[in-house]
């Protein structure tokens, strides 16, 4: 799996958009970009993932550059409850549903996002 690089920490004002970058310059063609977050003392929470097209769901948007070497997670209107560690993970999706190596996610150090009033 490709290695990812994220800033150690970021700040964001409440109500503003939070843009969290992730560099994955060694990503290969069959690797997806996944984002998770972990709020203090809780288990990680899946946010969104994508291959090459921009994706949006009820939680966030994911923008992947055309060369796929980097991506940005966007929280459009950050709230205090969005304060968390955000993890960017690059992971291949196997074509065989019977395979045994699914879901072996590797969590790095992530980005500590602090949303302040």
Partner 1 sequence: DAGITQSPRHKVTETGTPVTLRCHQTENHRYMYWYRQDPGHGLRLIHYSYGVKDTDKGEVSDGYSVSRSKTEDFLLTLESATSSQTSVYFCAISPGTSRTYNEQFFGPGTRLTVL
* List of residues contacting partner 1 (CB under 8 A): 32, 34, 36, 41-46, 49, 87, 89, 91, 93-94, 97, 100, 102-110
25 or 46: whose CB is closer to partner 1?
46
4 or 70: whose CB is closer to partner 1?
4
1 or 14: whose CB is closer to partner 1?
1
14 or 51: whose CB is closer to partner 1?
51
Q: How far is the CB of 114 from partner 1 (least distance, A)?
A: 18
Question: 42-74 b/e with 16+ CB inside 10 Å = b?
Answer: eebeebbbbeeeebeeeebbbbbeeebebbbbb
Structure tokens given for 27: 């990503």
Structure tokens given for 17: 């958009």
Q: How far is the CB of 92 from partner 1 (least distance, A)?
A: 9
**Cβ atoms of residues 59 and 76 within 8 Å:** no
Q: How far is the CB of 110 from partner 1 (least distance, A)?
A: 7
Q: How far is the CB of 22 from partner 1 (least distance, A)?
A: 15
């Amino acid at each position: 799996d490709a290695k990812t690089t994220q800033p150690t920490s970021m700040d964001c004002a409440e109500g503003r958009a939070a843009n969290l970058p992730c560099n994955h310059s060694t990503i290969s063609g069959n690797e997806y970009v996944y984002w998770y977050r972990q709020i203090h003392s809780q288990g990680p929470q899946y946010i969104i993932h994508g291959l090459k097209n921009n994706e949006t769901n009820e939680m966030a948007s994911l923008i992947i550059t055309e060369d796929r070497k980097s991506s940005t997670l966007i929280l459009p209107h950050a709230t205090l409850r969005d304060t968390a560690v955000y993890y960017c993970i690059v992971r291949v999706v196997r074509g065989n549903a019977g395979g045994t190596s699914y879901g072996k996610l590797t969590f790095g150090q992530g980005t500590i996002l602090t949303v302040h009033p």
